[in-house]
Structure 1
Amino acid sequence: MPSGTTDECFERIKTLADLVVRIRVQKTSLARPENDSLAEYRGSGRLRLGTGVISYLSQSKSGEICPCLACDGNVARKHWKFTVHTARHVVYDTQEAKASKVDLFYDDQSSRRDGRMQTVRAVEMQYAASDTDKCIVLCVTHDETLAQNIKCVDQSWQSFCHHHPILNQNVRENAFRILRELSEGGPVFVVVISHPHGQPKKVTVGKIVSGAEDSSFNYTTATCPGSSGAPLFLVDSELFTPGFFPWFGYVHSGTFPEPSHKTRKHINFSNCFVYN
C-alpha cells in the first residue's frame, strides 16, 4: 500500500469488502458463441465460480409483483432488489443468471457454520457488454434483515463517495482522465477484493504496470480463478485523501503471461468501463 496509508484506509477496505459477493453459476448458456472460452460447456450444469460487487438496493412498492423464481412473477410480496456487477464471462445472460447463486458475507471458513453467509438467487441480466466484459445481474431477497445489512454497508460507502470532490464531477467523463494522471504521476496501487477458487474473500494489492487507455489497463495484483468479476479500487496517497478508494466500475477480467518473463509471470487486466 502507499506510504502514509492510514487506519481509515483499512477500515474503508473492510467496508467495501462487505459489498463483495461470491457467484456460483450452475449452468452455461446455449447462447454463448462458438469463439467463447466456455463454448464447449454450453448447455451443461458444470459449476463455475466468480466474484461480484453489490451496487444498488431498493425496496418493493406496495402491491408490486415479486420477480424471484419462487414467486414466479405471480405473487405480490414484499421484497428487496439489488444489483451485482461482475464480468460477463462469469454470467453471460439471463439463462445463466437464473442458474446463479450469490453468497453474501462469506468472509471466512466459519461464515457458513455460524449463519453469517447468506445466499440469494439471481433472477435476470440487466446489462451485458462483451466488449468490456461487464454485466449487471439483478438479485431478489425477502429477508428484511439481510436487506437492512446491505443497506447499512451501502449507505456507509455511498456517503463517503458522494462527499468527495472527485466524485462530485461527472464520473464517466473523468474516470479515464484520472486513471491516466495517476499512472503518469507515479505508482498506482490496485486493490482487488475477491473470492479466489470460490474460497472466503481475500484482499490483494498490486500496482498498475501499463495501459490506462480507454480499452484496458494492466496490473500486478494477485488473482486466481474465481477472482473474475471482482471490483478494482485505485489507491494513490498523493492525489486522493487518506482512505478514499475510487471505484469507476472496473472489474477483474483475466490474466495473460508476460512474454518477457522467464518464470511465466502473469499480468492481470481489466477493461475500462464506467456505469453511472
Structure 2
Amino acid sequence: MSSLIKYNARDLLALGTHEAEVSYGGEADLLKNFKKCKKNPHHKNFIPAGEFQKAHLPERYHDDDIFDLTNTLIDLTVRVTAKFTSTERPEYFPDTTVRYPFFNNIGEKHLWRTGTGRIWDVRKMSQEDAVDCPCSRCQASLEPVREWGQVNVITATHVIFNVDEARQSFCRIDYNTDNGSYIEIEGWGRDGSDIIEDRYLLTCVTHDIILLDRLRKSVDHYNDICYKVYKKYLPTKEQDRLTIVVSHPHGCGKRVSFGDWKERFFVGHGTTKYSYSSATCPGSSGAPIYMLGRSGWRWMYYHVHSCANESVNVSGLGWEH
C-alpha cells in the first residue's frame, strides 16, 4: 500500500485483534499464559530487559545513541493492570461494525486486564502547593499526604477505558525480570481517552519522592536522546526502518523486541498508523513504539501498540512531524 493514499481511521480498525492479556487467576495465570503462548512459543524474539546489551541491537544499528535510547525506554516502560471493566465500554467502535474489546466482559469479577504503558511525564507536589494526595489511603485518612506526585502514563484505551477503570488499576515499575523486584503505584484517573486513536493518559500517584525524582530525570533524558536519534536518522528514515518495542508480554517481566516497520497508513493532519515485524504478544497492548527518523517529539501523541493479525503487528494512531 502506498503511503500517499489517505485512509479513513475507522477503516483501519479491522487490521487486527487487541493484545491485552486476560487473567482470572492473578499473577499465576499470567505466567501460565506466557509458557503456553501459541503466537511466540519460547519467546525467542524477545530480550529480557534485565539482560539487554548493545550486542542485542541489530548489527546495522550498533549505535551508542540507539543503545542509550533503548535503555531509557526500558526505564520508562511499565506494566498496566486493570481490575475493573466499565459499563461505559461500547459494544462497537463508534460508527462501525467492529466490536470493541471487553464489552462482553462487563460485570465479570476476578478479571485482570494487563497491558503496557510508557511514563510520559512526572509532576511533584509539595506542602506549598497545598494539594492533598488523592490516593485511596489518603482519601480515607484525616491527615492526607501533601508531598506526593503524579506519574502520567500513556497506554491503549482498550486497556484503560475511563476514570472508573483507572481508579481500579495499578502500574508496575522496574519489572525487568520475571522474578525480580518492582515498585507498584496506584492508578487514580484522568479522562484522556481516545477510542479511535487507541490512546489513554493514565495518571498514577505515589508518595515516593526519590522515585519521582529518578523518573523525572529519565523522562527528560528520554526526550533529549529521542530527539537526537530522530535528527540523526531523519534523512534516511525510508531506508532505516528499525522499530523498537518494549512491553510486558503476558503481563510478565519487561522485554525488548526489534524489527522493521512494514506499512505506513496516512490518515491526515500528520496522523499515521504503522504495521511492523517487531515481536509482540498479549500483554503488549499500549507499549511504546519507536521508529527511527519518525519518533522524536515530546508530545503525548506518539504511536502505541494496538493490535495484531497473523502476519504483522499494528500501532494505534499517532502524530509525526
> Are 1:2 and 1:235, in contact at CA under 8 Å, matched by a contact in 2?
no
Asked if 1:246 corresponds to 2:296, the answer is yes
More helix by share: 2
SS at match of 1:156: helix
Residue of structure 1 equivalent to 2:147: 78
Q: Partners of 2:226 and 2:244 in 1: how far apart? A: 17
**Aligned-pair distance for 1:209?**
1.1
Q: 1:99 aligns with which of 156, 168, 178?
A: 168
Query: Structure 2: which 5+ residue stretches go unaligned?
Result: 1-57, 93-99
- The alignment yields a C-alpha RMSD, in angstroms, of 2.7
**Aligned-pair distance for 1:234?**
0.8
Deviations 1:83-115 (A, max 9, x none): 000000000001110111100000113422xxx
Identity among equivalent positions (%) equals 27
Deviations 1:228-256 (A, max 9, x none): 000000126xxx9xxxx636611000102
SS at match of 1:71: helix
Asked if 1:210 corresponds to 2:263, the answer is yes
What code does the residue aligned with 2:70 have? I
* CA distance 1:78–1:38, change in 2 (3 Å): same
Q: Partners of 1:155 and 1:210 in 2: how far apart? A: 30
Query: Higher relative contact order at CA 8 Å, sep ≥6: structure 1 or structure 2?
Result: 2
Asked if 1:88 corresponds to 2:157, the answer is yes
SS at match of 1:111: coil
Residue of structure 2 equivalent to 1:235: 292
Equivalent residue runs for 1:87-166 within 5 Å: 87-112=156-181, 117-161=182-226, 166=231
Residue of structure 2 equivalent to 1:37: 101
Residue of structure 2 equivalent to 1:66: 133
**Aligned-pair distance for 1:43?**
2.4
Deviations 1:190-209 (A, max 9, x none): 10000000111111011111
Q: 1:26 aligns with which of 44, 58, 83?
A: 83
SS at match of 1:88: coil
* CA distance 1:199–1:76, change in 2 (3 Å): closer
**Aligned-pair distance for 1:221?**
1.0
Equivalent residue runs for 1:45-60 within 5 Å: 45=109, 46-60=111-125
SS at match of 1:146: helix
* CA distance 1:246–1:275, change in 2 (3 Å): closer
Report the number of matched residues: 244
> Are 2:170 and 2:204, in contact at CA under 8 Å, matched by a contact in 1?
no
Query: Structure 1: which 5+ residue stretches go unaligned?
Result: 168-177, 258-265
**Aligned-pair distance for 1:8?**
3.4
What code does the residue aligned with 1:68 have? C
SS at match of 1:151: helix
Residue of structure 1 equivalent to 2:14: none
> Are 2:276 and 2:312, in contact at CA under 8 Å, matched by a contact in 1?
yes
Q: Partners of 1:107 and 1:164 in 2: how far apart? A: 24
**Aligned-pair distance for 1:3?**
1.5
What code does the residue aligned with 1:71 have? C
What code does the residue aligned with 1:18 have? D
> Are 1:126 and 1:138, in contact at CA under 8 Å, matched by a contact in 2?
no
> Are 1:94 and 1:125, in contact at CA under 8 Å, matched by a contact in 2?
yes
SS at match of 1:3: helix
Using structure 1 for the length normalisation, give the TM-score: 0.80
Q: Partners of 1:219 and 1:202 in 2: how far apart? A: 17
Asked if 1:11 corresponds to 2:68, the answer is yes
Q: Partners of 2:257 and 2:131 in 1: how far apart? A: 41
* CA distance 1:232–1:38, change in 2 (3 Å): same
Residue of structure 2 equivalent to 1:269: 314
SS at match of 1:109: coil
